[in-house]
Amino acid sequence: QVQLVDSGGGSVQTGGSLRLSCAVSGFSISNYCMAWFRQGPGKEREWFAASDSAGRTTYADSVQGRFTISRDYDKNTLYLQMNSLKPEDTAMYYCARTMTYQLSGAGRCAAGVDYWGQGTQVTVSS
């Protein structure tokens, strides 16, 4: 049974840091392109980071240089290190498995999402 469990969210002040985790079971992250999405208050869910099966990463401009994806293949867990947080980063954060192992030429995973984590809330106060 495929399961993704998001954790690590919380409340921080502007400039603070958080590390989110996505613990996976039912498949190996070494075989899939994984992605992070977020949904802010009153906004649509948006993609902002991806990591292919080999660990290559891409980021949206809004988080480039501040957020970093990493993988622990032994723990079968995906991480998102978030630094220099801003109030506009406030959102529910979701990890996702996509139906491919690779990134597209445009930088995202080359196929859509088939499984989602339950989300973890990040709140950044000014």
Q: pLDDT-based confidence at 51, cuts 50/70/90?
A: very high
DSSP string, 19-85: EEEEEEESS-GGGS-EEEEEE-TTS--EEEEEE-TT--EEE-TTTTTTEEEEEETTTTEEEEEE-S-
Give percent of the chain with pLDDT exceeding 90: 97
pLDDT tens by residue, 1-32 = 999 999 999 999 999 999 999 999 999 999 99
pLDDT tens by residue, 59-89 = 999 999 999 999 999 999 999 999 999 999 9
Residue 105: per-residue pLDDT: 84
